[in-house]
Amino acid sequence: MTESPKPSRTLLDRGVIIALISLAGTIVVAYLSHINARMQVEAPIHATQTAEAQATALALATVSAFRPSPTETFPVTTPSISPLPPPIFGDFVICLVKCNGFNSINTFPEKTSVINAQWNYQNVPAGAAYERTWSLGVDLWVKYACVWDGPSEGIERISMIEDRGFHSGTWTMTIKIDGTVVMQETVFIEGNWDYWDPAGEFDFCPAPGG
């Protein structure tokens, strides 16, 4: 009886090695397929999350750009107020009778008992302190002081009366608004008449300022 020859150990070892290599290849292919499938699923998710994060960061940066910092201040614009123009007095004339624009004179004769005067004014604010005086040199003859309640502009006409005649010499009329001299004019009366009887001081202004 003839026995079949036993397979050699070398052939068995080679078979085992080949089987192991085949199994390892199968495992590697399966693992790589799993990784590839997971990357295909996670990549869109990661891309979406990245885009959302970028959009959120951009929105926060835009809001921050327009949000004032705690120490930031903004200038406050105050409307400017133009100063009022100053009072203006002028066109002073004197007359023997009521001035009409054609009868002004330069001097009065001795013992003149009535002095008529006229002038224009403008920019006189309501409520201003108004003062008008007539003096002979340093001697005060009359003073009117009042709160201005007339129009801001117009023509002022006054008449000063001294029944026995005004003292001869150079008289000065001075007008002040809020303590500032706005007009000062002189009137000359001829002769040597020396009658002197001051009218006094008054806290009102006879309408229309006479």
**Cβ-contact 183, 174 below 8 angstroms:** yes
How far, in Å, are 37, 45, 95, 172, 186 from residue 40 at the CA level? 5, 9, 114, 110, 110
Please state, rounded to an integer, the average pLDDT across all residues of the chain. 80
Range scoring the smallest mean pLDDT among 54-58, 115-119, 187-191 = 54-58
Do residues 109 and 179 both lie within one domain?
yes
SS3 label, residue 35 = helix
| Rounded Cα–Cα distance for residues 166 and 143 (Å) | 16
What CATH number should be reported for the domain holding residue 198? 2.60.40.2550
Residue 101's pLDDT band (cuts 50, 70, 90)? confident
pLDDT tens digit sequence for 124-138: 999 999 999 999 999
pLDDT tens digit sequence for 165-190: 999 999 999 999 999 999 999 999 99
Do residues 37 and 93 both lie within one domain?
no
Percent of the chain with pLDDT over 70: 60
Structural domain that includes position 16 = 9-67
Residue 82's pLDDT band (cuts 50, 70, 90)? confident
Residue 173 lies in a domain: yes
Residue 83's pLDDT band (cuts 50, 70, 90)? confident
Do residues 150 and 55 both lie within one domain?
no
Nearest to 119 by CA among 88, 144, 96: 88
Do residues 19 and 120 both lie within one domain?
no
- Give the number of other CB atoms < 10 A from CB of residue 132: 19
Looking at the predicted structure, is the pLDDT value of residue 206 above 70?
Answer: yes
What is the residue whose two structure tokens read 């835009």? 62
Do residues 116 and 191 both lie within one domain?
yes
Do residues 63 and 108 both lie within one domain?
no
Look at residue 48 in the predicted model and tell me its pLDDT.
Answer: 52
Residue 190 lies in a domain: yes
The DSSP annotation for 41-57 comes to HHHHHHHHHHHHHHHHH
Do residues 49 and 148 both lie within one domain?
no
Structurally, how many domains does the chain consist of? 2
Residue 37 lies in a domain: yes
Residue 78 lies in a domain: no
Residue 1 lies in a domain: no
Do residues 111 and 151 both lie within one domain?
yes
Residue 115 lies in a domain: yes
Taken in order 76, 82, 84, 86, the sign of the CA dihedral is positive
Do residues 193 and 101 both lie within one domain?
yes
Across 196-204, average pLDDT: 95
Residue 98 lies in a domain: yes
- 178 vs 33: which has the higher pLDDT: 178
Residue 28 lies in a domain: yes
- Tell me the whole-structure pTM to 2 decimals: 0.61
Do residues 144 and 196 both lie within one domain?
yes
